[in-house]
Copies of this chain bind each other. A is one copy, B any other.
């Protein structure tokens, strides 16, 4: 789960919850906003969460991250976030999210953009958290 923007937190939390209910481990960048929201949603549904941080300090992870990965490589950790997922769901987001969509697609990972979201040609879009999770999982099968 990638993205940013406080106004997208409710949907991110729902995505996290739905993924956990399906038995998926939720991987995020481990920081705030939609990353925290998706992790919170996953934990509320009894799921497992991984947070892959850009900095060098474990303490930077949000409280809903079970397993903290500290990369120390700044924005290059975006590559690790998307590479570690079987599929990537983008919620909101700005330039960093655009970079992650590019890297994920480059590596052949399934990418789904949840509406409203970034405009990127050639990437699947979903109108609801349910549809986003369906698309992400469906494409994996």
Contact = CB atoms under 8 A, between A and B. Distances in A.
A138 to B, nearest CB: 19
Interface string A83-125: 1101000000011111111110111000000000011110000
A72 B67 contact: no
- For chain A, the bracket of interface size reads 35 or more
A71 to B, nearest CB: 4
Contact of A96 (B69, B74, B98, B102): B102
Given A58-B84, A76-B76, A95-B105, 14 more contacts: A50-B69, A70-B83, A70-B84, A72-B79, A72-B107, A73-B73, A73-B79, A75-B107, A76-B79, A78-B103, A97-B102, A98-B99, A99-B100, A99-B101
